[in-house]
Amino acid sequence: MRALRITAPNTATVLDRPDPQPGPGDVLIRIERAGLCGTDVALFRGTMPYLADGRTTLPLQPGHEWAGRVVAVGDGVTTATPGDLVTGDTFIGCGHCDRCTSGRHHLCPEHLELGVLGQLDGALAELLVLPERAVHRLPPGVDADLGAMVEPASCSLRGVRLTDPGPDDRVLVWGAGTLGMFAALFAAQTGATVTVAARRESDRGFAAGFGLDTRDPEELGDERFDVIIEATGSSDVTRRLLDNATAGVRIALLGVPSGDAGLPSGTLIARDATVHAVLGGSASIDEAASRFATMPDTVRRLIGTVITLDEVPQVLADGLPRATGAGPKTQIRF
Ligand SMILES: [Zn+2]
Ligand SMILES: [Zn+2]
């Protein structure tokens, strides 16, 4: 099969690798679509925190946003069948510790993260093997293009659920990338009043096209919000999050900063703030996928750029593209 590997900082190549084989309990999938995100760029550039602390090493095969078709299953697999259109969980726990058996396998001390942590080969390849428990069948009406959007949407949905906005709440979402757009759209579905803060005028215009209220960050002034969702990963944003917080604010952190984001603990206490730091969306995968079935056109508009596997090294080197007025997500068509 053909696969993309990051071999050293700022070096990625597409090469032939042996086809993976499904062992007992495993599912073999032919990838149809995959997405690129900031984590993949950070792995390529060598700035991903896991590389700094030695939890991940190069070379690695990235890719954790994907959809594909089951082509074979190993012995004992009962929930996946060849032909199924599926996506999957980035987080794979040991399957038997307290955390794995209580629905918190993303916190398993031995967990792996597909294409990110633990040298588990990711989805930027023609074929992928995953344990059955990490494979999720897509509902009717959700095709592979949309299926590869489920992973980022599940992270945003979890952030929205943890901060629990409602019709009386004002919500501020920082960032109009994929995570920010999904957070804003899911928050708006609760009846809350949602504002998206984005620096670039074209990004604000894009969010406004979905009926969302937008602000240039410099125009926020002393506006106050009950829920604040950080989806930029910028330390500058994190440091100023509380400038626009009500007392009792609920905050979700979705964007991964490359270093210490410097949340001011004294102000957090003064605001009686609740901060949810969101490590993935494992618990929200099926719900995100079933919501997609009710909003397929909305989700499709977030896909802005579609490339081939051979174009990925150049895109990683250049940074993820975002044309004016186009959606934030870059996908790979197989
Ligand atoms: Zn991602
Ligand atoms: Zn475990």
Residue 74 has a pLDDT of 98
- Distance (Å, whole) CA 242 – CA 249: 9
Whether 197 and 107 map to the same domain: the answer is no
Does 239 or 317 have the greater pLDDT score?
A: 317
Whether 257 and 325 map to the same domain: the answer is no
Calculate the CA 238 to chain-centre distance: 19
Model confidence at 66, in pLDDT bands (50, 70, 90)? very high
Q: Is residue 232 part of a domain?
A: yes
DSSP designation for 125: B
Q: Which residues contact 54 (CB under 8 A, 6 or more apart)?
A: none
Residue 78 buriedness (CB in 10 A; 0-12 / 13-18 / 19+): exposed
Whether 114 and 7 map to the same domain: the answer is yes
Q: Residue 40 sits in a domain of what CATH number?
A: 3.90.180.10
Q: Which residues surround ligand 1, an ion (CB under 5 A)?
A: 37, 39
Which ligand has an atom closest to residue 66 CA?
Answer: 1
Residue 53 has a pLDDT of 87
Model confidence at 118, in pLDDT bands (50, 70, 90)? confident
- Asked if residue 182 has pLDDT above 90, the reply is yes
**pTM for the structure as a whole:** 0.96
Residue 52 has a pLDDT of 86
Which residues on adjacent β-strands are paired with residue 256? none
In which element (H, E) is residue 155 found?
Answer: helix 150-163
Model confidence at 261, in pLDDT bands (50, 70, 90)? confident
Residue 42 has a pLDDT of 93
Q: Is residue 157 part of a domain?
A: yes
Query: Using one digit for the tens of pLDDT, what is the confidence trace for 192-236?
Result: 999 999 999 999 999 999 999 999 999 999 999 999 999 999 988
Gap from CA of 205 to ligand 1 centroid (Å): 24
Number of folded domains that form the chain? 2
Q: Which residues contact 169 (CB under 8 A, 6 or more apart)?
A: 190, 192, 193, 226, 227
Which ligand has an atom closest to residue 112 CA?
Answer: 2
Gap from CA of 284 to ligand 1 centroid (Å): 15
Model confidence at 83, in pLDDT bands (50, 70, 90)? very high
Contact 87, 151 (CB under 8 A): yes
Residue 256 has a pLDDT of 83
Find tokens 């506006």 and name the residue.
223
CB atoms within 10 A of CB 125: 26
Mean of pLDDT values over 41-55? 91
Longest Cα–Cα distance in the chain:
60
Whether 18 and 141 map to the same domain: the answer is yes
253-to-40, 50, 248 alpha-carbon distances in Å: 19, 18, 16
Which ligand has an atom closest to residue 106 CA?
Answer: 2
Q: Is residue 266 part of a domain?
A: yes
Gap from CA of 109 to ligand 2 centroid (Å): 6
Residue 280 has a pLDDT of 94
Which ligand has an atom closest to residue 99 CA?
Answer: 2
Gap from CA of 229 to ligand 2 centroid (Å): 29
Residue 50 buriedness (CB in 10 A; 0-12 / 13-18 / 19+): middle
Find tokens 């499709």 and name the residue.
300
Which ligand has an atom closest to residue 91 CA?
Answer: 2
Gap from CA of 256 to ligand 1 centroid (Å): 10
Gap from CA of 255 to ligand 1 centroid (Å): 10
* 62 token code pair: 């990235």
Whether 17 and 130 map to the same domain: the answer is yes
Gap from CA of 122 to ligand 1 centroid (Å): 12
Gap from CA of 92 to ligand 2 centroid (Å): 8
- Distance (Å, whole) CA 25 – CA 185: 36
Residue 119 has a pLDDT of 82
Gap from CA of 139 to ligand 1 centroid (Å): 21
Helix and strand counts by DSSP (H, E) for the chain: 12, 17
- Asked if residue 260 has pLDDT above 80, the reply is no
Q: Is residue 316 part of a domain?
A: yes
Which ligand has an atom closest to residue 114 CA?
Answer: 1
Query: Using one digit for the tens of pLDDT, what is the confidence trace for 123-174?
Result: 999 999 999 999 999 999 999 999 999 999 999 999 999 999 999 999 999 9
Gap from CA of 228 to ligand 2 centroid (Å): 31
Gap from CA of 40 to ligand 1 centroid (Å): 7
Mean of pLDDT values over 287-294? 97
Which ligand has an atom closest to residue 34 CA?
Answer: 1
Q: Residue 262 sits in a domain of what CATH number?
A: 3.40.50.720
Which residues on adjacent β-strands are paired with residue 28? 72, 129
Domain enclosing residue 196, as ranges: 153-277
User: Mean pLDDT score of the chain, rounded to an integer?
Assistant: 96
